[in-house]
Amino acid sequence: MQFALQEITLVFFTTLAPAGAVAFFCLVLESNLSDEARANRIEHWLVVPLTCVLAGLIASATHLGTPANALYVLTGLGRSPLSNEVTSAAAFLVLGGSFWMYSFPRPHRGRAKRAWGVVAAASALVFVALVAHAYAVESVLTWNEAYVPAAQWACAVFAGPLIALAALACARIDDPRARGRALVGAAAVGGVAMCVLFGVQRATLASLATVAQQPSALELVPGYDAVIAVVVACVAGAVACGFAGIGSEGHRRAWTVGAAAVALVGCFAVRFVFYAVHLTAGV
């Protein structure tokens, strides 16, 4: 638990930033499926997922210690997972942020603007992929597992569509219910996958131990089963709020924002436990 508390800024980063990136992707996709007027309103509210990513990146910046270390991180591009992660985040924010700002003076869509949006959305997924693979460290027994990248993706796919749904509600856009259900359905799939992978992690931890950590790595997180219950409750609650928001006329914004908030709480719990079970070989 102590390691997770020490790295709490990274917990916030891996909770907020990937979810925001997936939400950005969802909103750009929705924009491309909409007429011009509706698309422009959606693009204005890309500020919501961009803020999530920026907030996560700002939180993680404290992990670098001093601003000078940020330049050192960039020198490891291509060979360091951390450098790849940070650089991809910066690239996405530049592409996504500039696309969002461009939507104000240039509300009309053209091929160039569409292409710009597609590239920005693609960079969002690249960013999530690099975050997901940044923690496959051979010396950390509890992180060097095949399910670790999948679990990060599951968290992002769970919370991201619900953040996008909340942004659409805040924009006062009357979504076709089929598209709203698609977003909540995607979140439900991500949430179920997150719960399953969380259970897989528990089973794996029970079989991992070192000389100093006996009888198993599971002891690093007292009350692991209680956390599983909280995560399952968050998934059920977030999905229920999402569907309630789709069917609500007067309280759509409240339901969808609540769904996104509950989803982020569930993701935070999963990511906190991930850092809490940090167990290196020989320790």
What is the pLDDT at residue 107? 65
What is the pLDDT at residue 39? 84
**Residue 282 within a domain:** no
What is the pLDDT at residue 172? 80
Instruction: For residue 6, give its domain range.
Output: 2-276
**Residue 65 within a domain:** yes
**Residue 80 within a domain:** yes
Mind listing the pLDDT tens digit of every residue in the chain (283 residues)?
Answer: 666 566 788 899 999 999 999 999 999 999 888 888 888 889 999 999 999 999 998 887 766 555 555 555 565 565 677 778 888 998 999 999 999 998 887 666 678 888 899 999 999 999 999 999 888 776 677 777 888 899 999 999 999 999 999 999 988 876 666 788 999 999 999 999 999 998 888 888 777 665 555 556 667 777 888 999 999 999 999 999 999 998 877 788 999 999 999 999 999 999 998 888 876 655 4
**Residue 204 within a domain:** yes
What is the pLDDT at residue 73? 59
Residue 279 CA to residue 283 CA, distance in Å, equals 7
CATH code of the domain covering residue 156? 1.20.1630.10
What is the pLDDT at residue 5? 66
**Residue 131 within a domain:** yes
What is the pLDDT at residue 104? 81
**Residue 281 within a domain:** no
Residue 61 CA to residue 168 CA, distance in Å, equals 30
What is the pLDDT at residue 221? 76
Is pTM beyond 0.85 here? yes
What is the pLDDT at residue 69? 55
Token pair listed for 238: 């977030």
**Residue 116 within a domain:** yes
CA atoms within 13 A on the CB side of 55: 12
Residue 33 CA to residue 270 CA, distance in Å, equals 33
Looking at the 3D structure of the chain, how many domains does it have? 1
**Residue 233 within a domain:** yes
What is the pLDDT at residue 45? 93
What is the pLDDT at residue 159? 97
92: CB partners within 8 A, 6+ apart: 21, 24, 53, 120, 123, 124, 126, 127
Distance of CA 71 to the CA centre of its chain: 25
